[in-house]
Amino acid sequence: MAISILAQRNAVATAYGVAAPYGCLFTSTGPGTSGSATNEVTGGSPAYARKAMSWSAPSNSAITGAPTFDVPSGTTVTYAGVAVSATAGTADIRDATSITSQVFSSQGTYQVTFTYTQA
């Protein structure tokens, strides 16, 4: 059943952001459906780290966050996700999606815009 009242959709979108306050990146096949941090990006200088999402206030049932990640050379990023903790490698992934592959032949940064919309 879809939620018909906007205030409730906004409340659920806000709750999603509270439950998933950190963004993360993955290589290869991503984290799967278990919440595992398998294939999370590692290494680099400056080192890769999960980033605070800084979710926006809900607007029309949606929240948005756009963290910028440090990505090490030799990495191909294929998935982005959200997690409970700031500690990379911790198996607390709450959601993930495939993204257009981005190859880093040298150390770089990658900004990913995440949007959650509650129907």
Mean pLDDT, contiguous 10-residue spans, the chain (119 residues): 94 98 92 87 97 98 98 97 94 94 97 96
Beta strands in 27-74 (DSSP E): 51-52, 62-65, 68-71
What pLDDT score does 33 carry? 82
What are the respective helix, strand and coil percentages of the chain, to the nearest 5? 10, 40, 50
What pLDDT score does 17 carry? 98
Going from the C-alpha of 53 to that of each of 6, 61, 82, 92, the distances in angstroms are 23, 17, 8, 15
Total-model pTM = 0.93
Joined together, the tokens standing for residue 78 give 């294929």
